[in-house]
């Protein structure tokens, strides 16, 4: 059924259609609307015996969901940013123990400085935690991915993070096709846990493993991710068959035919990128783009294949590995290892900084001339940076950079005194 | 409530008593006890925590007809019982993290409810560090929501698993690896620490109790009572650690008993936030008798002032919980 | 369940990890010797029978008891219970009233008619001389072993001093008769009025394989007191014997002096009271602390109105006037004359100065050696210098009590049994004493001992009814349950319950426990917390 609906609410409805049995969450912008809606659905009785547990922290939320999953329940949580970091220990624990939890991450920057707006630093910080990370480009895809995520998680006994850009998606009203319960039920069978806390068949979960077996345990987790590379396309095909829509592709090329330059990105920015590609194509540029739908497992082979024809690759990413550069770009370079293709990195949109088409266009132009810094910080205010660096050099003063910048800009001076 | 049997040779002071009615004997006295934590675990010789855990979980098992799931925080109990490839547990058991056992248990309980299996009961357990320090937020949340979980804390008064560092349950004066017996005020500071049972009571949860491995009848009664109630429940069990306390492995029970008899570890239970019973001290002992055999407190034994301060703590407990009343009064 | 590798484990798999290898010392279950058993002259397994009694299994308790002593009814009344002096419970509150429980069991057995069966006949014949406690005890044991036993008794009734010494008010005769009857019921033949003078004949012509001589000590010891015109002077043993024989009671008069400080003196004075004497005065050379009579008997006598002159000797007798000299104790505690005199009037003087053994006829036997006063020497097998002739009881050097005599009877029986089989009997290894240091006093509940009732005073002074009353079942059970079970497991489950490693296996009711050395780490908790000291830590064998 098509609905004009806020992304968060659409996701809440999709999650509800997956019939979770335990939901536990702690509020953090921009995830709040998702769990608020779910709490209402549960309270209304819309999910039968489903339990919504209001906990005291994200750490507790994921822990609660870990317990629920261990006790045989389909379990869900959602968070963002600081919340994801606050649950970090449990994030690794859930995957280490192989619990098929689904968690929505409404991607948001990480402080300090505290910032509620979108970028990918949060989910990137957990990229190697053993969770599968799927990125939605649109709210429709976000909705579809949640349905796929539950199947994927339960089929492989691995937790899945569905990442959707905070505000850009979570708070955007769009037309979304919400599935019917029958369709979802047909696609997603009831949860049958492979291991469970059951007095009739007691087991010990969460043993301490020493050097004699830890490598093997880790290898097997890695192996699960590799298995996902095969399972995800199957589930995507089945999804198409069931719902008549293509959603969840690990790698989605756009106008890459004869494209010499291919732009790679995660999430909603692909929409902007496609517009720019269209514009540039219209101007005769041989450019296309590739959306990466699954950051973990990272589909090395598919990406390599998708980029095989390109003579240069530009990665646009909303994160920054401080002291290194682009995280996605590094991953893409790994996909292209052995090939001479240059991979440029555009760091964009950190902390919610808008990514205007024009800026991208300009950056892509520069890249196509191979005249681009790498990494390029899109729309970075160099004036401010230069001033601050000069001042720092002069004063060797430490302290919060943001405060200093704002003081420079005269924005908070009167308050801070 | 423990009904002290006045005279059947040992009454209810020993684990069993062949002269008592079978229903007055403890779970531990039966051949059928679950041995929830079975042999082959790697706890130190004379470990009070290993003993306390079997006492408590066996009692819980009996109380619920073996329909039990157990969540365990990181700590000695977890480490010595479940090193791959061997588990000493004979109950469904999960270890997730150091500080999240109460939340995991809340999740287990929620799942069981959602799956229509609420007859299966949930207990969570951990050391004093896992419970009173790092897990306290989760514990408070679990209490506040009144989740149907019995939380059991095994208090050995320090972070033993990591090599005996101070916790908020470490007693004043005690030497630990992070409160060394050096300087002008050796050992742990005075006037610090927290009392989780009283804090639990402040949550007005249906049941809170303190217990000791030295008094099995009392302990089993409390676990049994706790298991008969739904909602959040807390039982705090004193379990001496020979390694961490610098005591003889054979004196674990003796020390636990002295902690009770000195008044330093008062035994009481509270319903809906109000104390309903304190177990009277049978023969009051001076604190020095308890501190003396513990190497972690050797320097305190030489310090009159510190000794007096600790005695004052004991005396305060005795007053506060009315521990010297007779059985008849009780 | 499809368990993930290594993180999820099968339950109970740690049983593969044998932590017993950590051990440097191991606990072992042992039996330590309870102080009561150690102190009992009859070698009773006091703790053993109390344990049965605690369970309310009185017959079982009685059966354990009579393995060592055939006369619990008698002993429960007249034994001076050294067991109770040794009892560890005395260091907690008051000692266990062992004698009272023993008496209860003895009386129960008589009421219920419990009996035991002898072993198959061995064909060996044993002659016993004297049907006092020593002879009766030996007879019981030898008969149970399957030997033919004949007791030759010079007197008209069996019992020895139990009958002709100890007054009825302390030992009712139905009890004594009942317990003797149980012995004869086993097939022991008691031939009354047969005084034996020739022992060699028994061995050489009458076909006995061994002889046990237990003739006691009956001849009253005399003392020289200058007497101008002696009034009535009697000896205690004869007075008591006459009372027992039922003949017209001896005429003692209104005022009676009993000379001596032993239990016999007390019994005589108390008997005199019962026979109508208005005054019964004991004259004794030393003071109360030094008196050999037991404190409780003194107490009872005083209650009944018996009077005592301490530190006094009779210097002269002039008809019914007795000149008494005051004594003083010197530094060594010996009484010394002071030269201070007083005179007392009395109708009768009864001498209670002890007895000597009438063992002259044994001098005919080659090799038999004697001590002072006719006491016969025996070796560690209780055999006299003459092969095959054993002796025990009052006639050998030992404390003269019913219980000692009974113990000698048992010991002699074992040696005789071995002797007739051409063997020697070796006592089993003695267990280490279960001293109070092995008692973990915490575990025992507080329980003051139960008090036995006494007869009202009027009847105590005028009749021979039993003074001290028995315990009813409730009290006997209570008293038995005060026992700490020193040194011997009583299945309190402490070790089973308190082992942090589940390394104690409970074998089931009355089967005790076993250590599982596969898992025992040797922490020693069980040994520390065993209430009664039945576990010992031993160095781990190499
Ligand atoms: C008044 C009194 C009170 C006592 N009270 C107590 C008491 O309360 N508690 C206690 O423990 N002890 C008491 N005793 C001591 C106790 O009675 C004796 O120690 C005990 O009876 C000794 O036992 P026995 O078998 O060696 O000798 P006896 O009891 O003296 O028995 C010896 C038997 O051998 C018989 N006999 C002797 N010569 C011959 C022979 N040639 N042929 C055949 N038969 C012979 C005698 O007739 C007698 O029956 C008391 C003694 C007296 C005198
Ligand atoms: C988040 C986290 N911090 C620290 C640790 C290290 N650690 C493991 S067990 C432990 C101490 C446990 O102490 P306590 O809970 O009192 O249990 P005990 O070992 O004394 O029984 C610590 C500090 C950890 N595992 N996880
Ligand atoms: S360190 Fe202490 S708590 Fe840990 S196993 Fe040893 S005795 Fe038990
Ligand atoms: S307490 Fe029992 S075993 Fe110990 S000495 Fe007394 S009677 Fe004997
Ligand atoms: Mg601890």
C227 & C350 share domain: yes
For chain B, give every domain's residue range.
Answer: 18-320
ipTM: 0.96
CATH label of the domain that carries residue C307: 3.50.50.60
B4 neighbors B327 (Cβ within 8 angstroms): yes
C-alpha pair distances (Å), C217 with each of B250, C50, C153, C328, C397: 55, 33, 14, 31, 11
Per-residue pLDDT band for C366 (boundaries 50, 70, 90) equals very high
Q: How far is the centre of ligand 5, averaged over its atoms, from the C-alpha of B14 (Å)?
A: 26
User: Could you give the angle at which helices C263-274 and C295-303 cross, rounded to 10 degrees?
Assistant: 20
Residues A373 and A229 grouped into a single domain? no
Task: Find chains touching chain A: ≥3 CB pairs under 8 Å.
Answer: B, C
Which ligand 3 atom is the nearest neighbour of the CA of B44?
6
A32 and A117 both lie in a single domain: yes
Same domain for A152 and A259, yes or no, is: no
Answer whether A68 touches B (CB < 8 Å): yes
C382 with C459, same domain: the answer is no
Neighbors of chain B with 3 or more C-beta pairs under 8 Å: A, C
Structure tokens at A210: 């020493």
Contact B174, B197 (CB under 8 A): no
Q: Which of residues 6-35 of A touch B (CB under 8 A)?
A: 21-22, 24
Nearest CB to B114; choose among A55, A73, A93:
A73
Instruction: Give me the mean pLDDT over the B43-50 stretch.
Output: 98
Q: Which residue range forms the structural domain that includes residue A410? A: 381-417
Higher-pLDDT residue of B130, C334: B130
Ligand 4 centroid, distance to C89 Cα (angstroms): 6
Residues 6+ apart with CB under 8 A from A84: A58, A91, A105, A122, A123, A125, A126
Residue C395 belongs to what domain range?
125-218+357-420
- Give the count of beta carbons closer than 10 Å to the beta carbon of residue C460: 21
C442 neighbors C498 (Cβ within 8 angstroms)? no
Q: What is the pLDDT of residue A400?
A: 67
CB C447 within 8 A of CB C93: yes
Same domain, A127 and A65: yes
> Could you say which DSSP state residue C300 is in?
H
Whether residue C344 sits in one domain with residue C299: yes
What residue has token string 């005589």? C268
Closest-CA residue of C relative to B20 is C55
Best of C15, C22, C481, C501 to substitute, by most chain B Cβ atoms within 10 angstroms, is: C501
C229 — pLDDT class (breaks 50, 70, 90):
confident
Architecture per CATH, B18-320: 3-Layer(aba) Sandwich (3.40)
* Angle at which helices A32-44 and A7-17 cross, to 10°: 40
Give the pLDDT confidence of B88-138 residue by residue, as tens digits.
Answer: 999 999 999 999 999 999 999 999 999 999 999 999 999 999 999 999 999
Q: What is the pLDDT of residue B2?
A: 66
CA of C456 to the centre of ligand 1 (A): 29
Check if B74 has its Cβ closer than 6 Å to any atom of ligand 2.
yes
Nearest Cα residue in chain B from A64: B107
Strand blocks (E) in C346-399:
348-351, 355-356, 389-391
pLDDT of residue B325: 75
C8 and A195: CB-CB below 8 Å? yes
Q: List all residues whose CB is within 6 A of at least one atom of ligand 4.
A: C 34-36, 46-47, 50, 87-89, 96, 98, 483-486
Predicted confidence (pLDDT) at residue C367 exceeds the cutoff of 60: yes
Residues of C in contact with A194 (CB under 8 A): 1-2, 4
Chain A residues lying within 8 Å of B139, measured CB to CB:
none
Spell B142-155 as b/e; 16+ CB within 10 A means b: bbebebbbbbbbbb
Query: Which ligand 3 atom sits nearest the alpha carbon of residue B46?
Result: 7
pLDDT in tens, C156-206: 999 999 999 999 999 999 999 999 999 999 999 999 999 999 999 999 999
**Which residue in this structure is represented by tokens 């024809």?**
A309
Burial of C373 (0-12, 13-18, 19+ CB in 10 A): middle
pLDDT tens-digit series, residues C342-356: 999 999 999 999 999
Dihedral through CA B32, CA B38, CA B40, CA B45, nearest 10? -100
On whether the CB atoms of residues B104 and C37 are closer than 8 A, the answer is no
Task: Please indicate, yes or no, whether residues C237 and C278 belong to a single structural domain of this protein.
Answer: yes
What's the domain count of chain A? 3
The verdict on A42 and A171 lying in the same domain is yes
Q: Is the CB of B168 under 6 A from ligand 2?
A: no
Q: What is the pLDDT along chain A (417 residues), one digit of tens a residue?
A: 899 999 999 999 999 999 999 999 999 999 999 999 999 999 999 999 999 999 999 999 999 999 999 999 999 999 999 999 999 999 999 999 999 999 999 999 999 999 999 999 999 999 999 999 999 999 999 999 999 999 999 999 999 999 999 999 999 999 999 999 999 999 999 999 999 999 999 999 999 999 999 999 999 999 999 999 999 999 999 999 999 999 999 999 999 999 999 999 999 999 999 999 999 999 999 999 999 999 999 999 999 999 999 999 999 999 999 999 999 999 999 999 999 999 999 999 999 999 999 999 999 999 999 999 999 999 999 999 999 999 999 887 556 666 666 666 665 544 443
In chain A, DSSP finds a helix count (H) and a strand count (E) of: 16, 16
Mutate to test the interface with C, among B4, B6, B14 (most CBs of C within 10 A): B14
Q: Are residues A296 and A391 located together in one domain of the fold? A: no
Please, which residues bridge with residue A23 across strands?
A52, A76
Contacting residues of C for B91, CB less than 8 Å apart:
11
Please indicate whether, in this complex, the C-beta atoms of C6 and A217 are within 8 angstroms of each other: yes
The CATH number of whichever domain residue C515 belongs to comes to 3.30.70.20
Query: What is the DSSP pairing of strand A287-292 with strand A261-266?
Result: parallel
Count up the domains in chain C and report the number. 4
Query: Would you say residue C430 lies in a domain?
Result: no
* Whole-structure pTM value: 0.92
C156 in the same domain as C101: no
Q: Does any ligand 3 atom lie closer than 6 A to the CB of residue B47? A: yes
Assess A192–B contact: CB distance below 8 Å, yes or no: no
Partners of residue C28 on adjacent β-strands: C536
Q: Determine the pLDDT at residue A413.
A: 45
Nearest to B102, CA basis, from B123, B121, B82, B81:
B123
Which ligand is nearest to the Cα of residue C533, counting in written order? Answer: 4
Q: Are residues C414 and C369 in the same domain?
A: yes
Where on the phi/psi map is residue A43: left (φ > 0), alpha (ψ -120 to 50), or beta? alpha
Cβ–ligand 2 contact at B71 (below 6 Å) = no
* B253 Cα–ligand 3 center, Å: 14
Structure tokens at A90: 């449990």
Indicate whether C245 belongs to any domain: yes
Q: Based on the fold, state whether residues C311 and C339 are members of the same structural domain.
A: yes
Q: How far is the CA of C395 from the centre of ligand 1 (A)?
A: 9
Chain-chain contact of A207 with C4 (C-beta, under 8 angstroms): no
Nearest to B151 by CA among B209, B238, B221, B86: B209
User: How many whole angstroms from C47 Cα to the centroid of ligand 4?
Assistant: 6
* Same domain (yes/no): A283, A357: yes
Q: What is the CATH number of the domain that holds A283?
A: 3.40.50.920
Token output for C363: 């001098």
Going by C-alpha positions, the residue among B10, B3, B15, B22 that lies closest to residue C54 is B10
Q: What is the pLDDT of residues C38-72, one digit of tens each?
A: 999 999 999 999 999 999 999 999 999 999 999 99
Which H helix or E strand runs over A197?
A: none
Q: Whose CA is nearest to atom 8 of ligand 4?
A: C36
Residue C165 placed within a domain: yes
Smallest Cα distance from A51 to chain C, Å: 25
Query: Are residues C63 and C92 located together in one domain of the fold?
Result: yes
CB–CB contacts below 8 A, A to B: 168
Residue C539, helix vs strand vs coil? strand
CB contact under 8 A, B9 and C491: no
Q: Which regions of chain B does DSSP assign to beta strands (E)?
A: 68-72, 93-95, 121-127, 150-155, 207-212, 233-238, 268-271, 274-278
The closest ligand to the CA of B156 turns out to be 5
The H or E element that residue B92 is part of is: none
Residue of A nearest to C13 (CA): A204
Backbone angles phi, psi at C343, to 5 degrees: -120, 140
Residue where one domain finishes, among candidates C355, C371, C389: C355
What is the DSSP annotation of C5-37?
TTTEEETTGGGGS-GGGG-SEEEEE--PBPHHH
Q: Which residue is listed with tokens 């939340």? A: B103
Interval C295-315 mean pLDDT: 93
Task: Give the CA count within 13 Å in the CB-facing half-sphere of B87.
Answer: 22
Question: Which residues are paired to B93 by β-bridges?
Answer: A204, B70
Kindly give the residue spans of alpha helices, DSSP state H, lying in A29-119.
32-44, 58-70, 81-86, 88-97
On whether both C337 and C240 belong to a single domain, the answer is yes
Residue nearest to atom 5 of ligand 2 (CA): B98
Q: Check whether residue A97 and residue A224 sit in a common domain.
A: yes
Judge: B83–A54 Cβ closer than 8 Å, yes or no.
no
Contact B159 CB / ligand 2 (< 6 Å): yes
Q: How far C488 CA lies from chain A's nearest CA (Å)?
A: 40
Shared domain for A10 and A136, answered yes or no, is yes
Smallest Cα distance from A293 to chain C, Å: 28
């Amino acid at each position: 059924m098509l609905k004009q609906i806020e992304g968060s609410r659409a996701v809440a409805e999709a999650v509800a259609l997956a019939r979770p049995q335990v939901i536990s969450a702690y509020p953090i912008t921009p995830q709040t609307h998702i769990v608020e809606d779910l709490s209402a659905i549960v309270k209304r009785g819309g999910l039968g015996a489903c339990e919504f547990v209001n906990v005291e922290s994200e750490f507790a939320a994921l822990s609660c969901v870990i317990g629920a999953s261990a006790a045989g329940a389909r379990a869900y949580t959602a968070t963002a940013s600081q919340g994801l970091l606050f649950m970090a220990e449990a994030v690794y624990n859930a995957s280490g123990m192989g619990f098929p939890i689904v968690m929505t991450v409404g991607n948001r920057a990480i402080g300090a400085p505290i910032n509620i707006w979108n970028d990918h630093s949060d989910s990137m910080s957990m990229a190697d935690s053993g969770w599968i990370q799927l990125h939605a480009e649109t709210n429709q895809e976000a909705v579809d991915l949640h349905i796929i995520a539950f199947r994927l998680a339960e089929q492989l006994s691995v937790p899945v993070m569905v990442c959707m850009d905070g505000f850009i998606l979570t708070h955007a009203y769009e037309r979304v096709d919400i599935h019917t319960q029958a369709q979802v039920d047909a696609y997603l069978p009831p949860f049958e846990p492979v291991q469970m806390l059951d007095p009739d068949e007691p087991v010990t979960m969460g043993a301490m493993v020493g050097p004699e077996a830890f490598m093997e345990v880790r290898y097997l987790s890695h192996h699960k991710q590799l298995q996902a590379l095969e399972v995800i396309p199957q589930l995507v095909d089945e999804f198409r068959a069931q719902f008549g829509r293509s959603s969840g592709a690990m790698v989605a090329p756009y106008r890459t035919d004869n494209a010499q330059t291919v732009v790679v990105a995660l999430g909603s920015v692909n929409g902007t990128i496609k517009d720019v590609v269209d514009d540039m194509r219209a101007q005769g540029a041989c450019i296309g783009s590739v959306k990466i739908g699954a950051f973990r497992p990272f589909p090395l082979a598919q990406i390599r294949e998708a980029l095989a024809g390109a003579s240069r690759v530009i990665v646009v990413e909303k994160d920054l590995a401080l002291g290194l550069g682009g995280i996605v770009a590094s991953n893409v370079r790994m996909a292209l290892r052995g090939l001479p293709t240059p991979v440029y990195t555009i760091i964009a949109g950190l902390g919610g900084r808008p990514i205007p088409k024009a800026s991208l266009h300009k950056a892509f132009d520069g890249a196509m001339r191979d005249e681009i810094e790498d990494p390029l910080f899109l729309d970075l205010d160099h004036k401010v940076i230069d001033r601050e660096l000069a001042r720092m050099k002069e004063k060797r003063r430490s302290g919060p950079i943001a405060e200093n910048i704002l003081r420079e800009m005269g924005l908070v001076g009167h308050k801070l005194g | 409530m423990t009904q002290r049997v006045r005279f059947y040779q040992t009454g209810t002071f020993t684990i069993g008593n062949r002269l008592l009615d079978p229903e007055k004997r403890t779970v531990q006295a039966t051949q059928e006890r679950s041995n929830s934590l079975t042999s082959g675990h790697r706890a130190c010789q004379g470990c009070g925590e290993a003993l306390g855990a079997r006492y408590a979980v066996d009692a819980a098992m009996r109380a619920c007809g073996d329909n039990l799931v157990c969540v365990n925080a990181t700590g000695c109990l977890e480490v010595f019982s479940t090193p791959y490839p061997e588990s000493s547990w004979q109950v469904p058991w999960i270890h997730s993290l150091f500080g999240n056992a109460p939340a995991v248990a809340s999740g287990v309980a929620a799942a069981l409810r959602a799956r229509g299996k609420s007859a299966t009961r949930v207990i969570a357990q951990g050391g004093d560090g896992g419970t009173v320090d790092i897990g306290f937020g989760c514990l408070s949340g679990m209490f506040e929501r009144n989740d149907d979980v019995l939380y059991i804390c095994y208090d050995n008064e320090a972070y033993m698993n990591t090599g005996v560092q101070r916790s908020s349950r470490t007693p004043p004066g005690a030497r630990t690896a992070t409160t060394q017996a050096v300087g002008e005020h050796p050992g742990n500071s005075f006037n610090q620490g927290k009392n989780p049972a009283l804090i639990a009571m402040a949550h007005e949860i249906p049941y809170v109790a303190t217990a000791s491995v030295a008094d099995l009848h009392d302990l089993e009664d409390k676990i049994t009572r706790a298991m008969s109630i739904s909602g959040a429940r807390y039982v705090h069990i004193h379990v001496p650690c020979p390694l961490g306390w610098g005591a003889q492995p054979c004196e674990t029970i003796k020390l636990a008993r002295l902690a009770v008899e000195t008044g330093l570890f008062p035994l009481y239970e509270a319903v809906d936030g109000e104390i309903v019973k304190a177990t009277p001290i049978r023969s009051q002992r001076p604190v020095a008798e308890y501190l003396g055999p513990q190497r972690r407190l050797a320097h305190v034994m030489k310090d009159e002032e510190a000794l007096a301060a600790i005695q004052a703590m004991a005396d305060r407990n005795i007053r506060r919980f009315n521990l010297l009343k007779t059985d008849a009064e009780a | 369940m499809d368990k993930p590798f290594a993180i999820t484990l099968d339950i109970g798999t740690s049983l593969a990890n044998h932590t017993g290898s950590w051990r440097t010392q191991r606990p072992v279950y042992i039996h330590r010797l309870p102080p009561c058993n150690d102190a009992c002259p009859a070698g009773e397994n006091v703790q053993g029978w109390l344990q049965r009694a605690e369970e309310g299994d009185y017959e079982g308790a009685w059966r354990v008891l009579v393995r060592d002593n055939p006369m619990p009814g008698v002993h429960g009344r007249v034994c001076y219970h050294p067991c109770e002096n040794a009892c560890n419970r005395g260091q907690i509150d008051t000692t266990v009233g062992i004698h009272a429980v023993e008496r209860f069991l003895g009386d129960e057995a008589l009421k219920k008619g419990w009996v035991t069966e002898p072993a198959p006949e061995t064909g060996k014949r044993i002659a016993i001389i004297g049907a006092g406690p020593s002879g009766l005890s030996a007879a019981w044991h030898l008969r149970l072993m399957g030997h033919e036993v004949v007791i030759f008794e010079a007197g008209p009734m069996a019992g020895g001093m139990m009958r002709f010494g100890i007054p009825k008010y302390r030992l009712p005769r139905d009890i004594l008769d009942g317990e003797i009857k149980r012995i004869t019921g086993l097939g022991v033949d008691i031939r009354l009025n047969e005084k034996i003078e020739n022992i060699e004949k028994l061995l050489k012509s009458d076909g006995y394989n061994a002889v046990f001589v237990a003739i006691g000590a009956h001849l009253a010891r005399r003392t020289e007191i200058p007497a101008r015109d002696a009034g009535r002077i009697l000896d205690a043993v004869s007075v008591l014997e006459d009372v027992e024989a039922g003949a017209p009671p001896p005429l003692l008069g209104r005022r009676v002096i009993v000379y001596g400080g032993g239990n016999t003196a007390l019994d005589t004075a108390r008997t005199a009271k019962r026979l109508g004497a208005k005054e019964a005065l004991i004259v004794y050379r030393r003071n109360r602390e030094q008196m050999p009579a037991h404190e409780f008997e003194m107490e009872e006598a005083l209650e009944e109105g018996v009077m005592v002159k301490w530190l006094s000797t009779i210097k002269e007798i002039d008809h019914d006037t007795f000149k008494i000299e005051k004594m003083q104790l010197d530094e060594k505690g010996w009484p010394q004359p002071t030269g201070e005199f007083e005179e007392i009037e009395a109708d009768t003087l009864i001498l209670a100065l002890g007895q000597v053994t009438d063992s002259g006829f044994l001098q005919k036997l080659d090799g038999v050696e004697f001590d002072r006063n006719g006491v016969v020497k025996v070796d560690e097998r209780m055999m006299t210098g003459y092969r095959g002739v054993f002796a025990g009881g009052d006639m050998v050097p030992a404390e003269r009590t019913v219980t000692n005599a009974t113990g000698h009877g048992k010991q002699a029986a074992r040696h005789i049994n071995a002797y007739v089989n051409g063997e020697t009997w070796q006592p089993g290894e003695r267990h280490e004493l279960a001293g109070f240091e092995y008692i973990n006093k915490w575990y025992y509940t507080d329980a003051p001992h139960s008090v036995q009732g006494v007869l009202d005073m009027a009847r105590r002074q005028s009749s021979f009814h039993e003074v001290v009353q028995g315990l009813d079942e409730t009290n006997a059970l209570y008293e038995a349950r005060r026992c700490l079970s020193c040194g011997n497991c009583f299945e309190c489950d402490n070790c089973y319950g308190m082992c942090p490693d589940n390394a104690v296996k409970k074998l089931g009711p009355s089967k005790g426990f076993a250590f599982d050395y596969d898992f025992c780490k040797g922490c020693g908790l069980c040994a520390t917390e065993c209430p009664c000291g039945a576990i010992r830590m031993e160095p781990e064998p190499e």
